[in-house]
Chain A
Amino acid sequence: MTDQQIPSPSQAAPIVPDAPEKEPGESRWHAFVREVTQGSVLISVLAVLLSIIAGGILIAATDEDVQRAAGYFFARPLDTFRAIWDSVAGAYSALFQGAVYNFRRPGFAAGIRPLTETLTFATPLIAAGLGVALAFRVGLFNIGGRGQMLIAAAAAGWVGFALDLPFGIHLLAAVVAGIIAGGVWGGIAGLLKARTGAHEVITTIMLNFIAFYLVSFLLRTPVLQAPGSNNPKTPAMKETAVFPDLFGPGYNLHAGFLFVIVATVVVWYLLNRSNVGFQFRAVGENPHAARVAGINVPSVYVWAMVISGALIGLAGTAQALGTIKTGFGSGIDAGIGFDAITVALLGRSRPWGVFAAGILFGAFKAGGFSMQAAEGVPVDIVLVVQSLIVLFIAAPPLVRTIFRLRTPGASQRPSRRRKAVAR
């Protein structure tokens, strides 16, 4: 509604010469520095910091030693602070040692094992995060990660244990089956949106439950159930179908991680360098203009959901063929479908951002379990920290207020900010 003045060219008589072009290298460096100092990177770092502090408060508040020391706080206040420090530092150092490097183990090979655990946890997170991020860029919100992972895991798993194929081909066939199954499941939501306008948030949520019950049902039938077992669980994967270990049997990290690196490169190329990605982004930013420009918007919705589902399918496949090779039940998705949303948001829907965010959250997961074992801090704290990070990142003004940062001019427009986060 703002009536803006637009000086007409006839009045701004001599044509103003453009600002001199900066050296490309220099401008890129400047852009980078600006981004780091006042833009989204700083906000991301501060958001992570804030969330870790909040997690620390939770840990300290529920710690028995802290509670006991707080009981005589006025007599010996230092005791309370020491107890707080012990509980928080203990928990986070356990987290670090479980996620990056364990100093208590002898030698580098043993000490670095936690980092490979982190990458193992990160593998499905990155793949699924890429899927959610790709959908975001097309303006779609794929909450259907759980369903897509379950269907993909079921398909990949079935190929993995039921078929007999030679080494190499078997793995490839299983991966392809998983990716296709995830793509199909995601594509249903895309098709429904393209054909009927049904909102993908609703349909993907519903498809999650449908997939869950479908897979639960199949796990009770000979299709997926291990023969002779009463548990709703598949048999173990055949040796030929599992992702090979990257660093030998002492480490859990498997070749799925390589697939995920390739997927990141592919998504980067697809979004930033291909004409398909150009059309995807155009639809994501302004579907009306895209339609007028001759882009088939419904078909973009379908294919975006197919590719998104396929990437999340890769995550399900990595779970079934890499992480849990001994056969899985209906909990194979392990909440990754929802975690992926936070990964995509933290990575700001950019492929390499998602890659980094996936590794960070992978570290939280890996460390969370060792924290639970070592310090008795429930692993659920990771969920809290993770969701707080996303909340803070989604609301930069909040983070700026907390840290009293200057508001950069570029992020004043709330609509832009919202878009940057959401879409």
Chain B
Amino acid sequence: MKLELRGITKRFGALTANDAISLTVEPGEIHALLGENGAGKSTLMNVLYGLYQADEGSILLDGVEQHFAGPGDAMRAGIGMVHQHFMLIPVFTVAENVMLGHEQTKAIGRLDLAAARARVREISDRFGFDVDPDARVEDLPVGVQQRVEIIKALSRDAKVLVFDEPTAVLTPQETDELIAIMRQLKAAGTSIVFITHKLREVRAVADRVTVIRLGKVVGEADPQSTNAELASLMVGRSVELTVQKEPAKPGDEALVVRNVSVLDPNGQKVVNNVSFEVRRGEILAIAGVQGNGQTEITEALLGLQPHVSGEILLDGKSLIGLPVRKVLDAGVGFVPEDRTEDGLVAEFTIAENLMLNRSTGEPFVKGGTLQLGYLNEFAEQKRKEFDIRTQSVQSHVGRLSGGNQQKVVLARELSRDLRLFVAAQPTRGLDVGSIEFVHTRIVQSRDAGIPVIVVSTELDEVVALADRIAVMYRGSIVGIVPGDTPRDVLGLMMAGEKPTEVAA
């Protein structure tokens, strides 16, 4: 089926998320939609899927104009979507999830589960998926859940499949498997729209590439273009992803982590016997695909995890079992991976957020009373120092852009007297300018002699910042390697292969 988008414009108030975007996907073509975070890709796809109504423009399938009032219409027209955040109901079985919305029924509205199971098996067999129709979705690994999403779309006879950032949660190996699936679908005549910001994948699978930036199409590219060409199209100028930094001058060991294991509330071991140390003045990057225990190990450092065993020593002082307050007082600075959820109180002002983890004593509190005058001065000073773009430090933090929000978090953490700095996914979802700012600040802290841990799922960021790299896979550290280790080696380590095997 041929898909055409003509002059799609979508506005949210004063913001134009999509500005006259046109796009054509031929039958049996894999068309990559490339763009930075925030370029307007997801908005465009939500328009296509009927979740948003376009303000201007039209959608055509095989030359016929379509009007989608909701996702139901889009699905009936043959459009399927594999969402970035899976649209699966965790407590339902695979079959129930697949049938939801177009259920076959027997007499008096009874669900025909047998038919649904057969359908799942049929599609599953056709693509070699190996999915049990009666498994509960929440018990399945992420990669399998994604296949359920694909089955769900295919079971509705989708002729156009949209993959929205499908590789964000996958290991390199699972990504390769997905790419193989996409080729297979293409061979079966399905048109595919592949939304991504990862250049390697575009080059691996796309037939055509459309690049969008700031809500506008900036051009089509040949998938065989070099990374640099694609990247400069995507961000609108030539970018250097490497950070200017001197070689590290590591000092003494500051943080020692020995045999640390973390159990989740169900007793599942999510961090398995991990050991590493960080020296003063070096950056240790913890790399790995999302969900391999990185989040839990940083939370364990901060005292946010309840079941932690092993040894964590900061300058010889044990941090295990201490409440978060004491860990912060011991000089640990922390940038949480989800800043809106864990890092900031959206309804609080910028100034209030700057004292969020210092509400127990001087200088912001005297005798139990907030020192609002001092807080204001402090906030004004930090606004200048960290270039926080805002009308006033009394604005709510929730109104700031992601980059400015992250600057508030950084300003708060780096204003304290730090003996360890932990930054988890410090640039997730940020624009290029803010990424540069954050990276520079992290390197500056290192140069000031602070031991730094950066957790990142983005290989680019890891390579740019790290002096040493620890790669995690399924709760364990696969290996700790120097900062200049080649990417392909890191990629294999992220899939669980030991570095020695790699070298051999």
Interface residue ranges, A against B (CB under 8 Å): 1-11, 15-16, 18-19, 21, 273-276, 278-279, 281-282, 285-286, 288-296, 416, 419
Distance between B86 CB and nearest chain A CB, rounded to angstroms: 13
Complex partner residue of B17 from A5, A18, A274, CB under 8 angstroms: A5
Known A18-B391, A275-B359, A275-B369: A5·B214 in contact at CB below 8 Å: yes
Query: Interface digits, B6-47 against A, CB 8 Å rule (1 contact, 0 not)?
Result: 000000100111000000000000000000011111110010
Residue of B whose beta carbon sits closest to that of A4: B38
Top-6 shortest CB links A-B: A8-B433, A293-B357, A294-B325, A8-B431, A9-B433, A10-B433
Is B17's CB under 8 angstroms from A4's CB?
yes
Complex partner residue of A286 from B17, B346, B365, CB under 8 angstroms: B346
Interface residue ranges, B against A (CB under 8 Å): 12, 15-17, 37-43, 46, 51, 214-215, 236-237, 302, 304, 323-325, 327-329, 334, 336, 341-348, 352, 355-357, 359-360, 364-365, 368-370, 372, 387, 389-392, 401-403, 430-434, 436-437
9 A-B pairs whose Cβ atoms sit less than 8 Å apart in the complex = A2-B43, A6-B402, A8-B431, A279-B359, A285-B345, A286-B346, A290-B356, A292-B324, A293-B359
Q: In the complex, A9→B430 CA distance in Å?
A: 11
Contacts A2-B17, A274-B370, A294-B327 known; 12 new A-B pairs at CB < 8 A: A4-B401, A5-B15, A5-B214, A6-B403, A21-B392, A274-B368, A282-B359, A285-B347, A289-B342, A290-B345, A292-B334, A293-B357
Known A2-B12, A275-B370: A289·B344 in contact at CB below 8 Å: yes
Distance between A7 CB and nearest chain B CB, rounded to angstroms: 8
Q: In the complex, A281→B353 CA distance in Å?
A: 12
Known A273-B369, A275-B365, A294-B325: A5·B345 in contact at CB below 8 Å: no
Known A4-B15, A9-B387: A291·B434 in contact at CB below 8 Å: no
Distance between B385 CB and nearest chain A CB, rounded to angstroms: 13
> Which of A288, A290, A294 neighbours the largest number of chain B CB atoms within 10 Å of its CB?
A294
Is A294's CB under 8 angstroms from B323's CB?
yes
Complex partner residue of B401 from A6, A274, A286, A419, CB under 8 angstroms: A6
Residue of B whose beta carbon sits closest to that of A22: B392
> Which of A6, A7, A18, A416 neighbours the largest number of chain B CB atoms within 10 Å of its CB?
A6
Interface of A is mostly: loop
Distance between A254 CB and nearest chain B CB, rounded to angstroms: 31
Is A273's CB under 8 angstroms from B370's CB?
yes
Is A292's CB under 8 angstroms from B336's CB?
yes
Q: In the complex, A355→B14 CA distance in Å?
A: 39
Q: In the complex, A11→B389 CA distance in Å?
A: 14
Residues of A close to B214: CB separation below 8 A: 5, 7
Residues of B close to A11: CB separation below 8 A: 236, 433
Q: In the complex, A281→B402 CA distance in Å?
A: 23
Is B43's CB under 8 angstroms from A3's CB?
yes
Residues of A close to B403: CB separation below 8 A: 6, 8-9
Residue of A whose beta carbon sits closest to that of B344: A289
Residues of A close to B334: CB separation below 8 A: 292
Q: In the complex, A411→B329 CA distance in Å?
A: 39
Residues of A close to B357: CB separation below 8 A: 292-295
Q: In the complex, A262→B391 CA distance in Å?
A: 37
Residues of B close to A293: CB separation below 8 A: 324, 328, 356-357, 359
Is B359's CB under 8 angstroms from A5's CB?
no
Q: In the complex, A286→B392 CA distance in Å?
A: 22
> Which of A274, A278, A290, A416 neighbours the largest number of chain B CB atoms within 10 Å of its CB?
A278
Q: In the complex, A273→B360 CA distance in Å?
A: 13
Residues of B close to A274: CB separation below 8 A: 368-370
Is B352's CB under 8 angstroms from A292's CB?
no
Q: In the complex, A294→B40 CA distance in Å?
A: 36
Distance between B357 CB and nearest chain A CB, rounded to angstroms: 4
Is B40's CB under 8 angstroms from A292's CB?
no
Complex partner residue of A295 from B16, B359, B401, B402, CB under 8 angstroms: B359
Q: In the complex, A239→B431 CA distance in Å?
A: 72
Is A9's CB under 8 angstroms from B437's CB?
yes
Residue of B whose beta carbon sits closest to that of A16: B389
Residue of A whose beta carbon sits closest to that of B327: A294
Is B304's CB under 8 angstroms from A276's CB?
no
Is A282's CB under 8 angstroms from B348's CB?
yes
Is B347's CB under 8 angstroms from A419's CB?
yes
Is A8's CB under 8 angstroms from B345's CB?
no
Residues of B close to A9: CB separation below 8 A: 387, 389, 403, 433-434, 437
Q: In the complex, A7→B40 CA distance in Å?
A: 12
Is B370's CB under 8 angstroms from A5's CB?
no
Residue of A whose beta carbon sits closest to that of B430: A6
Complex partner residue of A3 from B41, B236, B328, B360, CB under 8 angstroms: B41
Complex partner residue of B42 from A3, A7, A276, CB under 8 angstroms: A3
Q: In the complex, A205→B228 CA distance in Å?
A: 63
> Which of A1, A18, A296 neighbours the largest number of chain B CB atoms within 10 Å of its CB?
A1
Q: In the complex, A404→B87 CA distance in Å?
A: 38
Known A6-B403, A8-B433: A289·B365 in contact at CB below 8 Å: no
Residue of A whose beta carbon sits closest to that of B347: A285
Distance between A292 CB and nearest chain B CB, rounded to angstroms: 5
Is A5's CB under 8 angstroms from B325's CB?
no
Q: In the complex, A383→B264 CA distance in Å?
A: 49
Distance between A88 CB and nearest chain B CB, rounded to angstroms: 42
Residue of A whose beta carbon sits closest to that of B214: A5
Complex partner residue of B304 from A7, A21, A275, A292, CB under 8 angstroms: A292
Q: In the complex, A281→B390 CA distance in Å?
A: 23
Is A5's CB under 8 angstroms from B302's CB?
no
Is A282's CB under 8 angstroms from B356's CB?
yes
Complex partner residue of B346 from A3, A7, A285, A292, CB under 8 angstroms: A285
Q: In the complex, A16→B404 CA distance in Å?
A: 14
> Which of A10, A18, A274 neighbours the largest number of chain B CB atoms within 10 Å of its CB?
A10
Q: In the complex, A290→B430 CA distance in Å?
A: 23
Q: In the complex, A360→B51 CA distance in Å?
A: 45
Q: In the complex, A2→B69 CA distance in Å?
A: 18
Q: In the complex, A358→B348 CA distance in Å?
A: 27
Known A273-B370, A278-B370: A19·B343 in contact at CB below 8 Å: no
Residues of B close to A16: CB separation below 8 A: 389
Q: In the complex, A278→B344 CA distance in Å?
A: 14
Complex partner residue of A6 from B328, B431, B436, CB under 8 angstroms: B431
